[in-house]
Amino acid sequence: MPEVTERTADVAGIATHWLEAPAASPVLYVHGVPTASWDWLPYLERIGGVAPDLPGFGSSAKPEGFDYSIGGYDRWLETFVDTLGLERFSLVVHDWGGVGLALAQRFPERIARLVIHTTVPFLPGYRWHWVARIWRTPLLGEAFMATSSKAAFRLISRQSNVTPGPLPDEFIDRFWPDFDRATRRAILRLYRSAPPDVLARAGANLHDIRCPALILWPTSDPYIPGRFGRQYADALGGEVSLEIVERAGHWTWLDRPDIIQRVATFLGA
């Protein structure tokens, strides 16, 4: 099992924290909302690779002036991989970690293999889920964030996965300390930067990504309908394997830990 270590450095003027473990070949994991690099620990411990805390999340800096948008994270990720000397790497994304797909569209030659878990659709026709619609609404979103509590998150999380009950206590206990005012601000800005037309344009060049791709789409994600797994498969330009994961929700690997080995096999780990 690779040893996971913590790293810090200045990346594009932002104090950045990431987790890193030895890997047979470079792998970049990009987390979604509202987690951070720790979300990928089961993968790092099995496969190795690099998982940053995106600006605004986890232990990375959360500056007021950062561009919390697809374009802002795309440019930051470019600087991050260049800082670490990752010339060519496999990319694993989940949820808003789909910002990594913006980087992949600009530099498809740098992506060796691609794994897409249930990911924000950079595709036409997506309508935001109910929590996102609240976050995208001025004043209502701020009020919702201001009154959020750990108990309320635990209650809402009951719909996230198939396993009965809310998300695991260790998940909630790890996430909650990072969910401060600055992270809540980052989430509001990110969601408000992405109306449906922006999401559709963000995937306009998915066909340029021609590396082998594995799409793992759960049957019970309450946030992103299953049809978008097929749409991603149709939009990508290379050899794509779309696998529907039964008895799994948004954080697929929490319900189905066996998919970590599936990803390891695909990446050649």
With CA atoms as reference, report the closest residue to 32 among 221, 205, 210: 221
The residue whose two tokens read 């600055």 is 182
Which pairing describes strands 27-30 and 89-95: parallel, antiparallel, or unpaired? parallel
CATH number for the domain spanning 91: value is 3.40.50.1820
pLDDT of 154 strictly over 70: yes
Residue 24 confidence (pLDDT)? 94
Over residues 7-17, the mean pLDDT reads 97
Kindly state the percentage of the chain with pLDDT values over 70: 100
Query: CA 105, CA 207: separation in Å to the nearest integer?
Result: 8
Report the b/e string of 41-52 with b at 16+ CB within 10 A: eebbebbbbbbb
With CA atoms as reference, report the closest residue to 117 among 261, 247, 244: 244
Domain count, the chain: 1
The residue whose two tokens read 């970590």 is 260
- Residues 191-247 have pLDDT tens digits of 999 999 999 999 999 999 999 999 999 999 999 999 999 999 999 999 999 999 999
The DSSP annotation for 198-256 comes to: HHHHHTTTGGG--S-EEEEEES--SSS-THHHHHHHHHSSS-EEEEEETT--SSHHHH-
- The DSSP output letter for 164 is S
Residue 165 confidence (pLDDT)? 75
Residue 126 lies in domain: 5-267
Over residues 115-143, the mean pLDDT reads 96
From residue 123, how far is each of 43, 58, 196, 214 by CA, in Å? 27, 28, 8, 17
3-state secondary structure (DSSP) of residue 24: coil
pLDDT of 269 strictly over 70: no
Query: CA 214, CA 91: separation in Å to the nearest integer?
Result: 10
3-state helix, strand, coil in the chain (%, to 5): 45, 20, 40
53 exposure class (CB count in 10 Å sphere: 0-12, 13-18, 19+): buried
Looking at residue 78, its amino acid is E
Quote the distance between the C-alpha of residue 90 and its chain's center. Answer: 14
Residue 2 confidence (pLDDT)? 79
